[in-house]
Amino acid sequence: MAKKNTAHILVIEDEAKLAQFIELELKYEGYQVSVASDGLAGLTAARESEPNLIVLDWMLPGISGLELCRRLRTTGNMVPVILLTAKDDVKSRVAGLDAGADDYVVKPFSVEELLARVRAHLRRTQEEDPELLQFGDLSLNRSTREIFRGDRAIELTAKEFDLLEYLLSHPRQVLTRDQILENVWGYDFMGDSNIIEVYVRYLRLKLEANQEKRLIQTVRGVGYVLRD
């Protein structure tokens, strides 16, 4: 099931009243919402909390919305961004799109318009590529079998790929060793069940080769979970 209404939306807006208004409207629609009130806090939140969509004010203290968007894109973060701005001219629109924003809403806007765009962009990203599995800066393409950690391509063996694909298909779910064995190695696997530990170790070495954050966590006595 598509979890449209549990999508996490990050609102980066320095006008407290407007931020609160947007937050309440989005929450009323069932979204999970977090708010940042300046550019730097927004950029940090965008990187750390992995929102499904960002509503981003252009004029922010510190880093501008435009610069924030540009920085996200240069690090490969493709989260949908809806830019809020009072600047309604062609040059500004072009600048916004050039910086990597997906959409553009001019203040003052009707909340219905904003909500419609939020829905449209969430739908687009959910339907965009069923072959692409993503978690944080990790992505796996089922059809091309390419794996990336940020910009870094990662080579995996066939079994490592299967294991990672299984974990990425169940983000934040604790998977028991039995589940992993059955789904990755098959019911008829007769070998040593330490095989999972061995392959998790291989995967971690490859996924963390540049000191990246650990994503495959051990749940002692149970199994593994893909989690920050």
- Residue ranges that bind Ca ion, judged by CB under 5 A: 14, 57, 59
Q: Output the smallest distance, CB 168 to Ca ion, in A.
A: 37
Residue closer to Ca ion by CB (options 57, 137) is 57
Q: Least distance (Å) from Ca ion to the CB of residue 156?
A: 44
| Phi and psi, residue 12, nearest 5° | -115, 105
Cα separation, 112 vs 106, whole angstroms: 13
CB 132 within 8 A of CB 114: no
- Shortest distance, position 57 Cβ to Ca ion, whole Å: 4
Alpha carbon distance 117, 110 (integer Å):
11
15 or 50: CB nearest Ca ion:
15
Taking the least distance from each CB to Ca ion, the nearer of 14 and 103 is 14
CB of 48 to Ca ion, least distance (A): 22
State in angstroms the smallest separation of the CB of 184 from Ca ion. Answer: 49
Query: In the bound complex, what is the minimum distance in angstroms from residue 208's beta carbon to Ca ion?
Result: 38
CB-wise, 57 or 103, nearer to Ca ion? Answer: 57
Q: Which is nearer to Ca ion, 81 or 175 (CB)?
A: 81
Return the amino acid letter for 8: H
Considering the complex, state which of residue 38 and residue 146 has its C-beta at the smaller distance from Ca ion.
Answer: 38
